[in-house]
Amino acid sequence: MYWGRSLNKETFTSDLIAGFTGAVIVLPQGVAYAVIAGLPPEYGLYTAIVTPVIAALFGSSYHLISGPTAAISIVMMSVATNIGNLDDGQFIATVLIITLLAGLVQLVLGLLKLGTLVNFISHTVVIGFTAGAAVLIAGSQLKYLIGVQLPGGLSFVESLSQLFSQIDATNFYSLSTGIITLATALGVRHCNKHWPHLLIGMFVGSLYCFVLNGAEHGVILVGSLPGTLPPFSIPNLTLGNFGTLISAATAVAILGLIEAVSIARAISIRSHQQIDGNQEIIGQGLSNIIGSFFSCYAGSGSFTRSGANFDAGAKSPLAAIFAAIILALIVVLAPNVTAYLPFPAMAGAILLIAWNLIDFHHIKQLILVTKNEAIILIVTFLATLLTHLEYAIYIGIFLSLAMYLKRTSKPVVVDVAPRSDHPERKIRNINRYNLNECPQLKIIRIDGSLYFGAIEQIQKKVRELSHKGSDIKFMLIICKAINFVDIAGAQMLLQESQRLKRYNGQLILSSFKGTALDELKKMGYIEKIGEDAFYDSPNIALKTIIPQLNQNRCQTCHTRIFNECPAQQAKEDNS
């Protein structure tokens, strides 16, 4: 609570106002997200009370608001359903166990300072998964919207098939309630984005259903809340299905961390606060661990509530605590707040939530601009719809890592040469500037690191350019874009150096970064290759190399691309 020292009357008032705003926003969301997760509505509110307080106290962000989220909710419903045929009590118990395990996974990652691993998960995976989750969320609410019953455990495709087969049984009281809710929420948001459009939409939908006496015509109501604070209970963790549970919990933990850390960083750009990624992960882990003992399911950072919290003027994590206290008072003092809330009204609000989850702007960019990212996006999206959700997360992550390794294993090898039309003869891309090359000396630039996954590609290119019988016996490699060299990369340089020496040539290396040179020196390869092969700059290297070329050939050469060329030098001396 290092932020506690900065509290004063002004910050206290600002946080209280922001907390009230957060409570109004999370009230309908908490109920809606619990429905998505297949849980009674109070569990969403319990999660919105306990989780944000712990995350605020132990995290690093001043403005991140944790709690139930749409993506986590649909994953929790999916992974718990896949455990087996569970009754309501077993389903809730399983959700709490998964929450506990997910929190433990997150806490371990944070304590081991492995938060940077989250950075290696492509944002495209999150976009694709979230878009797929949005479609699943919308599909899960259609049964409430049209007022029909579906058996549990159906896949997305099976659910759609069942819905279409029962379309004739649509309850128009349910359908009209959902449409009124959705239309009202959209209209309110269009008029003023700062108004609680979901809350107003659900209120109007509930009023509409009440006036039409929808409950008497088959419209199902959410009912009253228990009116109690989150009860303490100990998750019943057994080893019988531990393997299945830990796999599901790991997927939930990863998704939760990606959401929380990315949202915290996005908000920090606006607030100019420095975020400690590992501390944020510890806060998320503790919030889920402690929350699992107080009837909370897995939570994460909410972009909507975090953004609203910042816009409302929050100055510290105290705003999240105020929001939780105000929400707790509502739950205890006004348990009938959901008594006349129809499930179709909930469905209408959730459809809008699902629509807002789809990042159309970035999806369009990814499809039009980047082929590899578009593949990751599409595969993750389809996997989300057609496989278990935890598998979809893993598929997206592994595919993005495979694409990354494929890209780094094929570093760009650029043919370069001096610009003869430039007074300093700067070395540039020969294709871009249409430059001539020396027939005896090849210059290339490697854009990428020399490690075991990339050396085959580089070595193949080097040997193509300086094969036996070729006029090119000398090769200068500009290494300024090489960030690191592992032992396989160093061994490749040694092999090529020895090969060119057998042809009475030489491999010359210039512009290595200090850190890369330190690695080569530590491994003993500077001595093996020869210190005379390393130069600080290409210009220094050229002054040494050019006199070693076949001078008879140089005298008849007309390219004269180097200042050090004998023919060029003679011309300058005569002038």
CATH of the domain at 569: 3.30.750.24
Average per-residue pLDDT for the chain: 88
Please check whether residues 69 and 202 belong to one and the same domain.
yes
| Mean pLDDT lowest among 166-170, 238-242, 350-354 | 238-242
Please check whether residues 335 and 437 belong to one and the same domain.
no
Give the residue among 177, 130, 147, 140 at the shortest CA–CA distance from 37.
140
The proportion of the chain whose per-residue pLDDT surpasses 90, expressed as a percent, equals 43
For residue 1, being part of any structural domain is answered with no
For residue 162, being part of any structural domain is answered with no
For residue 376, being part of any structural domain is answered with no
Tell me: the pLDDT tens digits for 247-256? 889 989 998 9
Please check whether residues 351 and 427 belong to one and the same domain.
no
Please check whether residues 353 and 470 belong to one and the same domain.
no
Distance in Å from the first CA to the final CA of the chain: 76
Please check whether residues 444 and 502 belong to one and the same domain.
yes
| Mean pLDDT on 440-466 | 89
- In 291-380 the beta strands, taken as DSSP E runs, fall at 300-301
341, 362, 383: which is the final residue of a domain?
A: 362
Tokens of 333: 């003092």
**Quick one: pLDDT band at residue 240, thresholds 50, 70, 90?**
low
Please check whether residues 322 and 437 belong to one and the same domain.
no
For residue 158, being part of any structural domain is answered with no
Tell me: the pLDDT tens digits for 160-213? 888 888 888 899 999 999 999 999 999 999 998 888 898 899 999 999 999 999
Q: Give residue for tokens 């944000």.
A: 52
What was the pLDDT predicted at 1?
A: 59
Q: What is the DSSP letter of 548?
A: G
For residue 449, being part of any structural domain is answered with yes
Predicted TM-score (pTM) of this structure: 0.77
Q: How far apart are CA 437 and CA 441, in angstroms?
A: 8
Q: How far apart are CA 98 and CA 390, in angstroms?
A: 12
Domain that holds residue 77: 11-121+171-225+242-362
Please check whether residues 334 and 477 belong to one and the same domain.
no
Q: Total structural domains in the chain?
A: 2
| Beta carbons of 220 and 177 less than 8 angstroms apart | no
| Burial (0-12, 13-18, 19+ Cβ within 10 Å), 303 | middle
What was the pLDDT predicted at 405?
A: 82
Amino acid residing at 467: H
What was the pLDDT predicted at 262?
A: 83
For residue 150, being part of any structural domain is answered with no
| Burial (0-12, 13-18, 19+ Cβ within 10 Å), 85 | exposed
What was the pLDDT predicted at 445?
A: 95
Tell me: the pLDDT tens digits for 134-169? 999 898 889 889 988 877 667 788 888 888 888 888
- Does residue 467 carry a pLDDT above 80? no
Please check whether residues 194 and 321 belong to one and the same domain.
yes
Tell me: the pLDDT tens digits for 478-489? 999 999 999 999
